[in-house]
A = this chain, B = another copy of it.
Amino acid sequence: MLTQATISQSPQFRPSFPFRHVLDRAMPGRRAEAGPVGIPMTFARNAEICGEAEPSGRIYMVVSGVVRICKLLPDGRRQISAFHMPGDLFGFEPDEIRHFSAEAVVQTKVVAFKWQSLIAAGVRSGAFIRELLHVTMKGLRHTQEQLLLIGRKNALERVAAFLLEMADRSGRTGIVELAMPRHDIADYLGLTLETVSRMFAELRALGVIKLEGARRVHVLDIARLIALGN
């Protein structure tokens, strides 16, 4: 039986067409195939990949590094809505103007795709649009979950949830390498960097984590972390 899920999840759409081909070429140790033209770009730490209020003529795929998606208030207050890791797509918008900016957290390689060239490559035929729909739906769900986190969880719960999310994406070895500084974590969680730091200290005092420098976290008690983070 066909369901909503099978539309966006069935194998025919999942290995991201048409980006997979480009990723094959952009990443070492992979075989090149035909596909639309992606423009490889490299950004230094803290460099802006694309900015708010610019035309939204391109979308991007992370090849290596980490990208933060930011929104700013006029007075400088900042909210990070997502961190993107290798393989993630970002930068699509419902209209011609971008409503967020994207910056490299560390040195980052991306491939940029102009909509123009995607269209030229036959992108209007269903598979690409369905893939993009699936990615966008996942992004929407993630952002809704983040809304619950920021709107209703306390500082300790937020930091615990953050560590769980990072652990999830880092191949579950019990050691989490954080690419971003405390300030970025704070802006992702709707806290200040001091509070984030204190919550790390509290998790350490509880015996849930061990810190090895500021950026390397050993998860000692994953069950406890899960209990705190949900």
Interfacial residues, chain A to chain B (CB-CB below 8 A): 1-5, 7-9, 55-59, 69, 71, 73-74, 77-79, 81, 92-96, 99-100, 115-116, 119, 124-126, 129-130, 132-134, 136-141, 143-148, 150-153, 187, 189-190, 230
Contact = CB atoms under 8 A, between A and B. Distances in A.
A136 to B, nearest CB: 5
B94 A137 contact: yes
Contacts of A73: 148, 152-153, 230
B116 A2 contact: yes
Contacts of A78: 152
Contacts of A141: 93-94, 99
A74 B230 contact: yes
Contacts of A136: 133, 136-137, 140
